[in-house]
């Protein structure tokens, strides 16, 4: 089946859950005209449904082929990419000075969800290009920007991020690719990178690689890493393409999912070294790379949301169509659609509510990142930056966990048919699996949350957020709407658990860091479930207050999430605060 | 990497968690000599490691081929099957009168885990044969037994279970395959079955199909179903093979996993109808089929355990070998194996403890089924039958959920490498996915648990079990071993939650069945987590009491499970008791 972008859900989430409407009203978005949001998203939904969605299965089945250094993408993909750039979708949030539309990241976040839902392996390519744009825009010289930025913003050329090497994955500081400065100011780069997404393809006539490498005299570890721009084809002064650079795809991976996205081994230095141009300063590569990675982390979180929504839509359609058994207590002949069965309803509600919660967390991250650069008031910008930093690991890890869980349920709703590849449910399940690994595994995200984000300012960013969420819960309680069920008490308990767990972790971070690290993953889940629950409740309140059609849909959704997901908070709190000893005593159990 | 059967863990679980030692001591196993258990399992482990494990990846990569009605299995598979039957593994628990070894189901359960861990797609074939044996032995005529039973017990021929049709999956009563009685007392069967595992293959010279079909005058629904034995080749009076019967594989499925196991569409009636022999009485097919299905459900639970253990072993090995980063606070050069990181320890502990809990639940089910037929005292047999009936859906659903969760973590521990098929972690993840679907989806299991097992006798089976578990928790508390951490309180809380949730469900079952059905899935999880937690604690106590080497390993494992899994019980209880309204109000949210 095809994909229809859930525009109403997206707008409610963006404007109310994520706070775009309030931020616009407060003037933090300058002269941005929020009225265009719906129109942009409608068009995005149309493009996704018409052009990208039909290629999702084609890409999975055909995959890509590497032959003599050239990668051929699946049938229809180069053409779709041409339509993509022609329609301007590559530059939604790109700088206007370089051919972009300059729209907020928040709008692009909603678009990213839509691209990922329709065809995640396709959407991954511009996602990485966007990260490259951010890094180049923030740290590149004017000369490099002039040559490359417009090409990347419009999507005429795509970008790659080249960090990983066989012995340098999560520990990027261990990388060994070498860069030597040449008399002309360029660098010669030699080494091998692995897992390079869209490292080679046939959709554009040039590819701009962003490569981390080490200078001969560089300090060890992450302090000795520099970032280089390495084009596939060198670019002449007039902007036309020159010689082929010494960087080649020497292998592609056979993967569980994302078959249409080429994952390349890239070799530099067969002919003396690839020519690279320094971005930022020498040995400052990690800083530049983090610009790319934070952007990419939010993007990957949105992939989780997108895959989840696609899996949900497909499961919902199947549950309405497939007939097995009868509703409890029903007499007479004939079978009912399986959606009448409470256990199927449960699965669908779980899919929808988890997707909605992850969506709002991701969008809220985007709004925070927008305000951190767009607001006029420095304090507002700083607070928003702290909020964005706090939310990024949650947006990435919680949403991709949920992408996996929802696509699992999507298979389950289909029963035996779900295990058959033809059905398509299994593709979502396979594709989702990488999202909790790449751009920093979800374990890395949870460690980042505990050590860098919670720990950064004595927890100030967390307490500020908890205050806001607490106000939402008060409103739920004050609404006296019986349709909320036990939403109020469940969220109140969740907030108390999150508060206590945060304090416990802060205390242990100083006294016994391994205790804090042991609880990082359940803490992130606790955070996501609490935050998501409060956001969905806030959206339900907004739907009621704003006279949305059928506001009780959102009340029911928030209630389900509170009673099934946020309700896990007290258990997760105990796992964080009581569980460190068992985790850190693992060697005695595991090794013997 | 290869697979090594965890004999010590298996024996501790079998003897103490599952209660085999106590049942033998009480005389419920007659003259069974428990001393041979370890020797049988050692040999099974050797066969699995030497013969089956090396073919696991071969099978995944080659899959099977259907050509002109003939299925070719992967290279090495027919030979491995010959070795399997020659070594007598097919008949471990088969009746001695027909060439089996007559060992307890409990021993065979441990073997089934071992086969599934080494090569789940291979082990699936004898698993289904075993179900066929049970049905034939319990319900078949002496004549049919004489012709077919020894062949099935020794594995000379394999068996299939043919229930599913395109419009009859979970709702088996909707099946349409027709059987007409012939003057000679045989039946002619026409129809199409789908999803038939090992419906056709090249490992034996005959296949014995067990087919559900409907007589012309049969009542509607499950009351009008009869079971037939339909051989691929008819068998002559002297036992040699005669004519090819009119049943053919007309298609095979392209699946997410289990590539080596042929999943066939079977067509009967191209040439007038397949000749079938009635098993049991006309219209009593469902009763016969349930004999097969309960056996198969436990077997599928053990597949979950086996896949989980294989995934765990592989992840543990990788975590000890792969170096990234340094332990927190460590100075100096060089990277540490990733197992030093608390988040990796957490994943491995989760994998190991969940696997161990699921194992004990499955083995306990097998012990109950054994005692229900082997004990001399009728009351003991009846109680054991009730216990076995109660545990079967938990063994199936909890263990296969865990097979999926553990193999998910197995991929995660491998990071980016986990997404690459070559690594092998992804195969476990793909293979596991069907186990929560076939032999009754896990949703069906949870409904069975709530409506038929909890509801059967006013909860008596549940209260009896809770009393036993409560005694274990008392012992944990009395042990005063600080290494148990908060295991005692966590399990005490879990038992209280399970008790309250059970009572609530019983009450609702009568008053508002849809409320009970809405909570079925979280209730089964609550049950599994509580039961598994208490069993692991009991095993730790036994390890201490019996002077096992390193008993504290089992204490640490039990503690981790209590603090991370059983701790979720109070939240799950609330989901059961507070969540029905949100589930049953789903239509207003989902449809609109």
Helix/strand/coil (H/E/C) assignment for every residue in B275-319: EEEEECCCCCHHHHHHHHHHHHHHHHHHHHHHHHHHHHHHHHHHH
Question: A189 is in which domain, residue-wise?
Answer: 159-287
SS3 A366: helix
Q: Which of A418, A514, A578 sits opposite B563 (nearest CB)?
A: A578
Catalytic residue among B303, B439, B539, B548: B439
Torsion of CA A96, A102, A105, A110, to 10 degrees: -120
- pLDDT > 90 fraction of chain A, expressed in percent and rounded: 95
* Residue B35 counted as domain residue: yes
A498/A562 same-domain check: yes
Q: Testing the interface with B: which of A6, A400, A405, A419 to mutate, by most B Cβ within 10 A?
A: A419
- Segment B118-151, tens digit of pLDDT: 999 999 999 999 999 999 999 999 999 999 999 9
- ipTM, two decimals, is 0.98
Q: How far is B317 from chain A (nearest CA, A)?
A: 10
Contact B125, B198 (CB under 8 A): yes
Instruction: Flag if B556 and A588 touch (Cβ within 8 Å).
Output: yes
* Residue B478 counted as domain residue: yes
Q: How far is A259 from chain B (nearest CA, A)?
A: 11
SS3 B579: coil
* Residue A334 counted as domain residue: no
Instruction: Name chain B contacts of A563, Cβ cutoff 8 Å.
Output: 574-575, 578-579, 582
Q: Which of A254, A553, A583 sits opposite B420 (nearest CB)?
A: A254
* Residue A387 counted as domain residue: no
What are A276's strand-pairing partners? A187
Contact B69, B61 (CB under 8 A): no
Instruction: Name chain B contacts of A346, Cβ cutoff 8 Å.
Output: 518, 521, 583, 586
SS3 B328: coil
What does the mean pLDDT of chain B come to?
A: 96
Q: Testing the interface with A: which of B337, B351, B586, B587 to mutate, by most A Cβ within 10 A?
A: B586
- Segment A370-381, tens digit of pLDDT: 999 999 999 999
Question: Would you list the DSSP string of B116-152?
Answer: HHHHHHHHHHHHHHHHHHHHHHHH--HHHIIIIIHHH
pLDDT at A462 over 80: yes
Could you tell me which residue, B433 or B330, shows the higher pLDDT? B433
Domain boundary among A129, A152, A175: A152
Instruction: Name chain A contacts of B421, Cβ cutoff 8 Å.
Output: 254-256
In a 10 Å sphere around its CB, with 0-12 CB exposed, 13-18 middle and 19+ buried, how is residue A67 labelled?
Answer: exposed
SS3 A258: coil
Contact B414, B423 (CB under 8 A): yes
Count interface pairs A-B at CB distance under 8 A: 280
- Nearest-by-CA chain A residue for B169: A324
pLDDT of residue B42: 98
**Which H helix or E strand runs over A499?**
helix A487-511
B399/B474 same-domain check: yes
pLDDT of residue B332: 83
Question: How many Å apart are CA A214 and CA A168, to the nearest integer?
Answer: 13
Instruction: Flag if B343 and A582 touch (Cβ within 8 Å).
Output: no
B395/B503 same-domain check: yes
pLDDT at B391 over 80: yes
Instruction: Flag if A412 and B164 touch (Cβ within 8 Å).
Output: no
A32/A117 same-domain check: yes
Instruction: Flag if A587 and B345 touch (Cβ within 8 Å).
Output: yes
- If we measure between CA atoms, which residue out of B310, B336, B553 comes closest to residue B432? B310
Contact A202, A78 (CB under 8 A): yes
Quote the radius of gyration of chain A (alpha carbons, Å): 24
**Which H helix or E strand runs over A363?**
helix A342-374
B326/B459 same-domain check: yes
pLDDT at A1 over 80: no
Domain boundary among A252, A287, A322: A287
- Segment A266-324, tens digit of pLDDT: 999 999 999 999 999 999 999 888 877 778 999 999 999 999 999 999 999 999 999 99
Distance set, CA B2 to CA A330, B57, B258, B424 (Å): 52, 11, 18, 11
- Nearest-by-CA chain A residue for B424: A256
pLDDT at B198 over 70: yes
State both tokens at A91. 């530059």
In a 10 Å sphere around its CB, with 0-12 CB exposed, 13-18 middle and 19+ buried, how is residue B66 labelled?
Answer: middle
Quote the radius of gyration of chain B (alpha carbons, Å): 24
pLDDT of residue A294: 79
pLDDT of residue A287: 87
Helices (H), B140-232: 142-144, 150-154
A147/A207 same-domain check: no
Residue B321 is part of a domain; what is its CATH number? 1.20.140.10
pLDDT at B288 over 90: no
Contact B524, B530 (CB under 8 A): no
What does the mean pLDDT of chain A come to?
A: 96
| First-to-final CA distance of chain B | 51
State both tokens at B101. 């070894």
Question: How many Å apart are CA B377 and CA B105, to the nearest integer?
Answer: 19
Instruction: Flag if A490 and B590 touch (Cβ within 8 Å).
Output: no
Instruction: Flag if B433 and A415 touch (Cβ within 8 Å).
Output: no
Residue A250: count other Cβ atoms within 10 Å of its Cβ. 17
B120/B186 same-domain check: no
pLDDT at A509 over 80: yes
Domain boundary among B135, B152, B169: B152
A164/A145 same-domain check: no
A201/A132 same-domain check: no
SS3 A101: coil
A134/A30 same-domain check: yes
Q: How far is B93 from chain A (nearest CA, A)?
A: 29
Give, in degrees to the nearest 5, the angle at Cα B288 between B286 and B294.
90
- Report the pLDDT averaged over residues B271-296: 91
SS3 A305: helix
* Residue B2 counted as domain residue: no
A14 backbone dihedrals φ, ψ, rounded to 5°: -65, -50
- The whole model's pTM is what? 0.98
pLDDT of residue A361: 98
State both tokens at B106. 């409990």
Instruction: Flag if B578 and A485 touch (Cβ within 8 Å).
Output: yes
Residue A148 is part of a domain; what is its CATH number? 1.10.540.10
A245/A185 same-domain check: yes
Q: What is the domain count for chain A?
A: 3
A545 backbone dihedrals φ, ψ, rounded to 5°: -70, -35
Question: How many Å apart are CA B463 and CA B447, to the nearest integer?
Answer: 19
Instruction: Flag if B416 and A169 touch (Cβ within 8 Å).
Output: yes
- Segment A335-346, tens digit of pLDDT: 999 999 999 999
A254/A201 same-domain check: yes
pLDDT of residue B292: 75
Torsion of CA A437, A442, A447, A452, to 10 degrees: 90
Confidence of residue B2 (pLDDT cuts 50, 70, 90): confident
State both tokens at B390. 């109660």
In a 10 Å sphere around its CB, with 0-12 CB exposed, 13-18 middle and 19+ buried, how is residue A143 labelled?
Answer: exposed
- Report the pLDDT averaged over residues A60-82: 98
Residue B247 is part of a domain; what is its CATH number? 2.40.110.20
Q: Testing the interface with B: which of A120, A256, A558 to mutate, by most B Cβ within 10 A?
A: A256
Residue A439 known to be catalytic: yes
Q: Which of B412, B513, B570 sits opposite A437 (nearest CB)?
A: B412
Question: How many Å apart are CA A147 and CA A551, to the nearest integer?
Answer: 50
Question: How many Å apart are CA B416 and CA B324, to the nearest integer?
Answer: 13
* Residue A126 counted as domain residue: yes
- Report the pLDDT averaged over residues A115-119: 98
Residue A267: count other Cβ atoms within 10 Å of its Cβ. 18
* Residue B589 counted as domain residue: no
pLDDT of residue A413: 98
* Residue A366 counted as domain residue: no
- Characterize the bridge pairing of strands B241-244 and B65-67: unpaired
pLDDT of residue A335: 93
State both tokens at A561. 């999430």
């Amino acid at each position: 089946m095809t994909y229809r972008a859930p525009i109403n859900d997206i707008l409610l989430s963006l404007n109310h859950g994520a706070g775009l409407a309030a931020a616009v009203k407060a003037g933090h978005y300058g002269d941005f005209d929020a009225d265009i949001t719906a129109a942009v998203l409608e068009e995005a939904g149309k493009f996704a449904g018409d052009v990208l969605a039909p290629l999702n299965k084609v890409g999975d089945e055909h995959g890509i082929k590497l032959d003599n250094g050239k990668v051929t993408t699946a049938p229809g993909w180069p053409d779709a990419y041409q339509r993509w750039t022609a329609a301007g979708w590559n530059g939604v949030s790109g700088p206007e000075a370089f051919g972009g539309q300059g729209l907020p990241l928040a709008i692009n976040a909603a678009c990213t969800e839509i691209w990922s839902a329709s065809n995640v392996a396709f959407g991954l390519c511009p996602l990485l290009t966007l990260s490259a744009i951010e890094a180049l825009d923030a740290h590149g010289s004017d000369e490099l920007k002039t040559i490359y930025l417009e090409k990347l913003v419009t999507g005429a050329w795509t970008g790659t991020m080249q960090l990983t090497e066989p012995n340098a994955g999560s520990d990027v500081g261990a990388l060994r690719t070498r860069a030597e400065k040449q008399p002309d100011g360029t660098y010669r780069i030699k080494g091998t990178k692995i897992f390079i997404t869209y490292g080679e393809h046939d959709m554009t006539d040039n590819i701009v690689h962003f490569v981390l490498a080490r200078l001969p005299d560089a300090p060890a570890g992450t302090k000795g890493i520099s970032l280089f721009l390495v084009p596939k084809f060198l670019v002449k002064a007039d902007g036309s393409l020159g010689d082929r650079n010494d960087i080649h795809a020497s292998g592609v991976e056979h993967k569980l999912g994302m078959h249409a996205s080429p994952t390349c081994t890239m070799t530099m230095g067969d002919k003396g070294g690839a020519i690279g141009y320094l971005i930022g300063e020498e040995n400052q590569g990690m800083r530049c790379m983090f610009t790319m990675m934070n952007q990419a982390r939010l993007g990957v979180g949105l992939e989780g949301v997108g895959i989840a929504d696609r899996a949900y839509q497909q499961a919902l359609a199947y549950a309405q169509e497939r007939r097995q058994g009868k509703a409890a207590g029903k007499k007479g002949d004939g079978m009912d659609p399986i959606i009448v069965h409470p256990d199927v309803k449960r699965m669908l509600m779980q899919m929808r509510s988890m997707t909605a919660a992850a969506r709002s967390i991701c969008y809220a991250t985007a709004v925070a990142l927008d305000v951190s650069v767009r607001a006029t008031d420095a304090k507002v910008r700083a607070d928003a930056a702290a909020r964005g930093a706090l939310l990024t690991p949650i947006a990435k890890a919680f949403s991709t966990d949920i992408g996996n869980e929802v696509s699992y349920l999507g298979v389950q709703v289909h029963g035996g048919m779900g295990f058959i590849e033809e059905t398509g449910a299994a593709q979502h399940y396979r594709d989702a699996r990488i999202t909790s690994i790449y751009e920093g595994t979800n374990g890395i995200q949870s460690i980042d949350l505990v050590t860098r984000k919670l720990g950064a300012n004595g927890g100030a960013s967390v307490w500020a957020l908890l205050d806001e969420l607490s106000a939402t819960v008060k409103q739920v309680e004050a609404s006296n709407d019986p349709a909320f069920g036990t939403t109020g008490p469940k969220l109140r308990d969740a907030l108390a658990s999150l508060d206590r767990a945060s304090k416990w972790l802060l205390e242990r971070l100083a006294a016994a860091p391994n205790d804090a690290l042991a609880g990082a993953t359940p803490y992130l889940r606790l955070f996501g479930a609490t935050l998501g629950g409060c956001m969905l409740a806030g959206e339900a309140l907004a739907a009621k207050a704003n006279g949305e059609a059928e506001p009780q849909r959102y009340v029911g959704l928030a209630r389900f999430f509170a009673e099934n997901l946020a309700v896990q908070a007290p258990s997760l709190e105990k796992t964080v605060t009581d569980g460190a000893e068992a985790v850190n005593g693992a060697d005695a159990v595991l090794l013997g």
